[in-house]
Amino acid sequence: MSEPLTPDRSPTRHPTAIIESPTIGSRARIYAFTHIFPGAAIGDDVNINDHVLVENDVTIGNRVTVKSGVQLWDGLDIEDDVFIGPNATFVNDRFPRSGKQPDRVGRTTLRCGCSVGANATILSGVTVGLKAVVGAGAVVTKDVPPFAVVVGNPANIVGYASTADAGTAATVTIEQAEIRDLVGGAQLIALSRVEDLRGALIFAEVGDKLPFVPQRMFTVFGVKSAEVRGEHAHRTLHQFLVCLAGSCHVIIDDGRGGRLEVALDRPQVGLHIPPMVWATQYKHSLDAVLLVLASLKYDADDYIRDYDAFLATMAEL
């Protein structure tokens, strides 16, 4: 039986556990037949279940749950509030050979609040992003973006988790309203449509449905449905997106907890994305043709491509 919790904030340790590390946080619960090596660092309120191995070069943050049958090998950094399901596997050597140690192990990071499902495999050098979800049995070979939900072998993005702890971001479409306000100042705008026997025409004018004077345009097409585009914010540039054919989804994020998934599935709807809104495009249909109008000419310095840098910039505003 485990030792009872004590008022002095001491960890709870099962008598069969081998705990060699002196760095065990307050109220950590360590269950049967677990082995924690001397160099490992364990945070507060951690829950480590039966038959878990934690090597030396492993850091585990606060409020992390590690379910049974998991081996945490050298080179693994686990941030706060991470969940690791039973029998998840972490690889730190992509070319293992019996009796031969790698010169260095790949560094793998599980960012705050992410979840790794049962029997998932995470290859070395991979980062699983903030609040991302790795489905059961997935094989993760590349970095997982913040909030992304990935499944399969190799793992592909199938959705995005909301900033809440459960569920997915609500999908937003526009029906009758001419303008619908979203997060971060973004707007869905119903464009004008004219149709007769010759076909249909959709238009927008600057100062009416088009919120800026375009300085650049580009189209995105031929994207495999599993592929993700965007994943950045702009410092000063406005964008206006219209899906001329097919459909795609856009995740918009204001960096302050506001997050929505927008479906662009008809050419008479435009999405205005103002500066300092993080945007990601995915779920492209095979016939999707996305038109993007930009308020400025291309400037690499206007992009913020790292989500942590985006959050830091928003915190300073």
Q: How confident is the model at residue 146 (pLDDT cuts 50, 70, 90)?
A: very high
Q: How confident is the model at residue 119 (pLDDT cuts 50, 70, 90)?
A: very high
Which of these is catalytic: 51, 232, 272, 284? 232
Candidates 265, 239, 230; CA nearest to 185 is 239
What pLDDT score was predicted for residue 105? 80
- Cα-based distances in Å from 228 to 115, 137, 202, 220, 276: 20, 21, 27, 11, 19
How far apart CA 66 and CA 76 sit, in angstroms, is 13
Tell me the two tokens of residue 139: 């094989």
- Bond prior to 154 in cis (omega within 30° of 0): yes
Task: Describe the strand order of the beta sheet including 76-78 as a list of residue ranges.
Answer: 23-24, 41-42, 58-60, 76-78, 108-110, 127-128
Q: How confident is the model at residue 9 (pLDDT cuts 50, 70, 90)?
A: low
Contact between residue 89 and residue 56 where contact means Cβ atoms under 8 Å apart: no
R_g of the chain, CA atoms, integer Å? 24
For the segment 154-175, what is each residue's pLDDT rounded down to a tens digit? 999 988 886 444 334 456 666 6
What pLDDT score was predicted for residue 176? 53
- How many CA atoms does the CB half-sphere of 200 hold within 13 Å? 8
In the predicted model, is pLDDT for residue 6 greater than 60?
no
Catalytic residue list contains 234: no
